Amino acid sequence: MRQSEFLNVVMPFKDKLYRLAKRLLVSTEEAEDATQEILLKLWSKNEMIGSYKNVEAFAMTMTKNFCLDRLKSRQAGNLKLVHSNYGETGTPLQKQVEVKDSALWVQKIMVELPEQQKMVLQLRDVEEYDYDEIAEMLDMKPSTVRVALSRARKTVREKLMQKHSYGIG
């Protein structure tokens, strides 16, 4: 595969690779390094890349595995998830503060989720993959993906409601 073909195949989803790496590794620099490593690995497999049924799913799986290996190697017990696609321009300040506070609580709650639920929630609700794609990436059955997502959402919803109802901090 020529370089231009490779770029046309891989570059449309490179930002998704970065966001997944950032979600898992937290550090911007580490996420950038991980994304670069994955792109280099994909380039080294460039001759075989056309044979993959879903190159994007393959790359996301590589990214997930690479990041998890990196986390295991440094034994990072303080995994923190960060996502900042919340809020709208032009909303009143009070609403912006509430949205930011809720987003921070969702992050805190997600940290406590089991690894599988974190991944499913990230891939489905943030990256907007469908169940079959997630199942392929995580080597799971689509029904298992649905159950994990349902449990993750339920946990986040219950803990968020608990926080808002009781003001627990």
Give me the DSSP letters along 14-37.
HHHHHHHHHHHH--HHHHHHHHHH
Instruction: Give 87's pLDDT tier (boundaries 50, 70, 90).
Output: very low
Mean pLDDT of the chain: 79
Sequence-separated (6 or more) residues with CB below 8 Å from residue 43: 6
Domains of the chain: 3-73 (1.10.1740.10), 93-166 (1.10.10.10)
Instruction: Quick: pLDDT tens for 129-138.
Output: 889 999 998 9
In whole angstroms, give the CA distance from residue 99 to residue 105. Answer: 10
Instruction: Quick: pLDDT tens for 136-163.
Output: 989 999 999 999 999 999 998 888 888 7
φ/ψ bin of 83: left (φ > 0), alpha (ψ from -120 to 50), beta (otherwise):
beta
At 75, the amino acid letter reads Q
- Name the nearest CA neighbour of 84 among 65, 99, 64, 69: 99
